Structure 1
Amino acid sequence: MMRAERVCLSVQSQMSIEPLSVTAFTLVNALGLGCSASLQALREARSGLTHCDLPGIALDTWIGRVPDLESAPLPDGLQAFDCRNNRLANLTLQQDGFDREVERVRAGYGPERIGLFLGTSTSGLEHTEAAYRRRTLSGNEDLGDDLRFDQTHSNFSLGAFCRTRLGISGPTQVVSTACSSSAKVFATASRHLLSGLCDAAIVGGTDTLCSTTLHGFASLELLSPHPCQPWGRDRRGISLGEGAGFVLLERLPPSPSRPALLGYGESSDAHHISSPHPNGLGAALAMRAALDRAGLPPEAIDYLNLHATGTPANDRAEDRAIAQCFTRPPRASGTKGWTGHTLGAAGVTEAVICLLALKQGFLPANLNRGVQDPDLALDVLETGLEFSPQIVMTNAFGFGGTNASLVLGYPR
């Protein structure tokens, strides 16, 4: 096992990549609509978590719910895609001028040269659940005309909707690797851009709350009965959330005022279907590979955004992985106490939080930690910090050992 890891690392160390400029980004989650709402909530130490109030779900847990999503219709002509997940994607594309930036690159490069790489785990599952509930109540065999597998249920529904909504026709992929989905799409986009298959790429992801996800995590005994406590001694599990985020990447000359994707790392330790390797071996591989591709030593990282789910096993494994990669860890925090764990959208949500840290000079606190866990070596930020990082890293580790780490910052 250890020999295989050394071979893998020796190959990855030769794979430094060209930085890819970040020219636009946006997000929506329980903190609000757009980057300003999220940044304001982070500065004010105001969490978006509330006790679960979803109709028909009697679970004692907390969630990060996007308000009024039910009343956010799709544009005319796109009603065939109408489901909660696509509504959230559409709402997010309207924030921070992101869709106008897409219009710019579409006009400049051509629609066929814009790639689209998105992550999700739930896709339109909530819409399908509603169809089956309706069928049970009515006694009819018909699931209804509004349940369309391709447009409202399948994972590619998100990609098909966004591609149609944005008027682009370049390479399109939807990745579904649980919680690492919308981090891994940065790697997918990088490979497409650097191989010349597209000139700009939209990366991101969307995930929405549904009964299957909530009851599934409840059956695994992973839901916390109170707001999650990432990195805390008394942590008992996750608080699920919903959210979406999008980032526009372009091959442009480096600029001191424009952050870039500097490196990515991916690994698959395949230790267990729902538990991480206890020593964080796969997570450590991903972090080292991201540093290698960025051509940076560990001490170059000014801030580390932790995956920090708030479960005992996950936080412990990530802590051990960090100890393998950093002699002196950077300032660090987990942000799921603010937004909840947005699953397939977690990677891009936390990447955008990192981009806000780079642009706005503010590091978010690790909310709700409570008493420090003496079993975890890494300390975390208990309060927000006015600080201007130059290079940051963010982690996203999913079920089945699908791990991804990203390095973002200003090229040197």
Structure 2
Amino acid sequence: MTGLIITAGTAISAMGRGVEATRTCLMEKRYTLQPDTFQPQGHGHVGRVAGVENHRLPSALQNFDCRNNRLADMALMTDGFMEAVAEACAHYGRHRIAVIMGTSTSGILTTEEAYTARRSRDEALPVGFPYADTQDLSSLPRYVAARLGVTGPALAISNACASSTRAFMDATHLITSGLCDAAIVGGADSLCRMTLQGFASLGLISPNPTRPCDARRSGISIGEAAGLTLLERDGARPRPPRPAGYGLRLLGYGASSDGHHMSSPDPTGRGAALAMQKALDRAGLPPDAIGYINMHGTGTLANDRMEDRAISSLFGRNVACSSTKGWSGHTLGASGILETMICAIALQHQYLPHCMNSETLDPTFESDILLEPRHDRLDHVMNNSFGFGGTNSSLIFGPLT
């Protein structure tokens, strides 16, 4: 692969606002999932970000106002990310910086609220309802581009729960093809009734905080998150000084689509294993070079079982792995970007987080799944994201040297 590096990054979730808050949450084993009070009849627990309701977008961009864009704006204003992009703009030009953002629901909550406010079931939505700037999938990248003042290509990736992981792949194509010099890559997904009630109707919401890979796991906890990274060619400009924990090198990526079922993963794990193998091939690494895998690990019976089979088929018990959704909840299309920043923390601090809330490993599992954190040497990490419809994505990162 052409050498691409992450020179700035941030994430916001129930774990906290920013990379340092996320690191502290992981290392201090803080409980973050709370009973669902987002809707009148709550389902299980959620990973809710504090302060979204009171956050305000700039007055010139009020037409974009929705929970999803508020989350993204909060992330933009964290960890010096806007300043990092301004420096890149000064070097490359605003027209040479792309925005590729992943989301699965965008600002659908705004439409839900508009429907709820109708006086009758036959009444239309209000004239002038800002659908294009709120619910439409393009709202997120257009908002981020407008907020940052960049004018390069802007893409929305909606690839279910693999959306923001897949965004790295599309960004790589844009940069290596010469269509842009740098890319803002990330995603956001926010709490809404559609996901909370939709997953509940599928019987996938756990009544307790989710416990991935546990023998008694009973489903997911929905969360919300936003995160962004600045992806550039290595050596294209002098590396800007950044606080510790941001620097990552994108070494490889892989994607597959097994198309087994609309909502259930292929139980054999073949599609997931293929995505991981492609990432290894692109990185030119053998399986034993990976020191840690951040699993998709949603906490459902089928997903965790499938992923264990896929990982063990390639790595045996030779690589430590865990899911961090016991802290954040399942943040859907934002999972990939949030967990990419967790991979940055793991590499920076040589720290392997465990499966939060999980106590007893499923006895049928064959991977080295962590129920307690571990300090160990890490040179390369893998980040997995798998989504409905059999969409699978894997990324491999290493530290900047």
Q: CA deviation at 1:277?
A: 0.5
> Secondary structure of 1:74's match?
coil
The reply to whether residue 40 of structure 1 matches residue 24 of structure 2 is: yes
Contact 1:42–1:384 (CA under 8 A) maintained in structure 2? no
Structure 1 residues 6-405: aligned runs within 5 Å: 17-56=1-40, 58-136=41-119, 141=123, 143-144=125-126, 147-253=129-235, 258-405=247-394
Distance 2:374 2:226 in 1: 25
Structure 1 unpaired stretches of 5+: 1-16
Letter in 1 for 2:162: S
Distance 1:185 1:139, change over 3 A: closer
> Secondary structure of 1:322's match?
helix
Q: CA deviation at 1:76?
A: 2.1
Letter in 1 for 2:33: L
Distance 2:53 2:43 in 1: 23
Distance 1:259 1:74, change over 3 A: same
Contact 1:264–1:291 (CA under 8 A) maintained in structure 2? yes
Distance 1:387 1:147, change over 3 A: farther
Distance 1:215 1:225 in 2: 13
Letter in 2 for 1:118: M
> Secondary structure of 1:96's match?
coil
Deviations 1:98-127 (A, max 9, x none): 111010111110111001111001101011
The aligned length equals: 393
Greater shift in the superposed pair: 215-224 or 46-55: 46-55
Letter in 2 for 1:410: P
Letter in 2 for 1:35: V
Deviations 1:186-206 (A, max 9, x none): 111111111111111111000
Q: CA deviation at 1:410?
A: 3.1
Deviations 1:76-115 (A, max 9, x none): 2000000000000000011100111010111110111001
Give TM-score scaled by structure 2 length: 0.95
Distance 1:83 1:411 in 2: 36
Q: CA deviation at 1:36?
A: 1.0
Q: CA deviation at 1:312?
A: 0.4
> Secondary structure of 1:267's match?
strand
Q: CA deviation at 1:160?
A: 0.9
Letter in 1 for 2:161: C
Contact 1:263–1:293 (CA under 8 A) maintained in structure 2? yes
Deviations 1:118-156 (A, max 9, x none): 1001101011101111114x7893533673111011011
> Secondary structure of 2:161's match?
helix
Structure 2 unpaired stretches of 5+: none
Distance 2:276 2:339 in 1: 15
The root-mean-square deviation of aligned C-alpha atoms, in Å, is 1.7
> Secondary structure of 2:53's match?
helix
Letter in 2 for 1:34: G
Q: CA deviation at 1:301?
A: 0.4
Q: CA deviation at 1:19?
A: 2.5
Higher helix share: 1
Distance 1:35 1:66 in 2: 14
Give TM-score scaled by structure 1 length: 0.92
Distance 2:266 2:56 in 1: 42
Letter in 2 for 1:295: G
